[in-house]
Structure 1
């Protein structure tokens, strides 16, 4: 490996360390309580080093936001090969739920914390949320394909997509925040909360099927 390649790898490794440290602090200490100095202390570098990569902590949380959507979009890509649009819609929901189970830290940053979206509204042009738009566009196209097959007749495509997403997101947000686990102990005892979300999703699918 040449000197230039080593420099590039070192920069990428350091960038990843910055993002991992920031993600940990954002989720444990909170966004407002996290500073560039604290992130620098976490990775044992000076704050000046971090400023070489990111202009402020808003820039960092937005980078994490984008990375999370890239990961989600990559997990959706195999579903493009599913010919039946309704089966694709079901698989999309399962994939989304699995992402929340597997990456709860990213899920909270992407869909629960308000700070990344505030940064987007204040600091970015419309085309800067490309990864997020691609994820939702895939859902929209799948709903359109379902309508071509007779599902959701008379309903607005965007409204159907939004309601489907909101339903699944609600279950995932309860899971990620810990509210579901706490509530289940009181109401349902020790029932497996991941299995409960999957069962709730099957109920949603049954309802969607009845719209044809």
Structure 2
């Protein structure tokens, strides 16, 4: 390995270390209570080292947020091969639930944790990563409408209803509000999701 390649690898490893430390503290203490010095102490480096990679904690949060959304969108890749729009929608929901179960910290950072909107590099108050992910859902919902599988004429409204319902189930689980039920949480959410899909098929 040459000097340039080794330095690049070391740079990527340091960037990863910083991001991991920042994510841990953001989720544990909340965005507002975390400083660059806190993150530096967490990874046992000086604040000056972090500033070589990120200009401030907003940029750190944005990098974590963007990386998480890219991972979620990548998870949706298999739906491209499904021809039936309703089956595409159902599989999309299953993937979303699985992503939340397998990546609870990322999901928390993406959809639940409070952070200033300017950390997400929004333009005109548009949440770009969220808008892009929702756009995929809206596209699938529109296909369902065109095929007559969903009767509601507005894909944005129907998509928001679907997303908010599935997100609500996930949020209840991640905030440990499912312990009142005796059934295994993941199995219960899967069953509720299937019931929700059945309801949509009957008349959304």
2:10 matched residue in structure 1:
10
Q: Say if 1:110 and 1:116, in contact at 8 Å, map to a contact too.
A: no
2:67 is paired with a residue whose SS is helix
CA 1:160–1:19: 2 relative to 1, 3 Å: same
Work out the CA distance in 2 between the residues paired with 1:191 and 1:29. Answer: 31
1:115 is paired with a residue whose SS is coil
1:69 matched residue in structure 2:
69
1:36 matched residue in structure 2:
36
Residues 10-51 of structure 1: CA deviation (Å, up to 9, x unaligned)? 111111111111111111122222111111111111100101
Work out the CA distance in 2 between the residues paired with 1:29 and 1:42. Answer: 13
Work out the CA distance in 1 between the residues paired with 2:116 and 2:188. Answer: 30
2:32 is paired with a residue whose SS is coil
2:158 equivalent among 157, 160, 173:
160
Aligned residues between the structures: 204
User: TM-score, normalized by length of structure 1?
Assistant: 0.90
**Structure 1: gaps (5+ residues):** none
Q: Say if 2:76 and 2:92, in contact at 8 Å, map to a contact too.
A: yes
2:135 equivalent among 110, 134, 137:
137
Work out the CA distance in 2 between the residues paired with 1:15 and 1:128. Answer: 27
User: TM-score, normalized by length of structure 2?
Assistant: 0.93
Q: Say if 1:65 and 1:116, in contact at 8 Å, map to a contact too.
A: no
Q: Say if 1:73 and 1:135, in contact at 8 Å, map to a contact too.
A: yes
1:92 matched residue in structure 2:
92
Work out the CA distance in 2 between the residues paired with 1:29 and 1:116. Answer: 15
Taking only aligned residues, the RMSD between alpha carbons, in angstroms, comes to 1.8
Structure 1 window deviating more from structure 2 (51-60 vs 128-137): it is 128-137
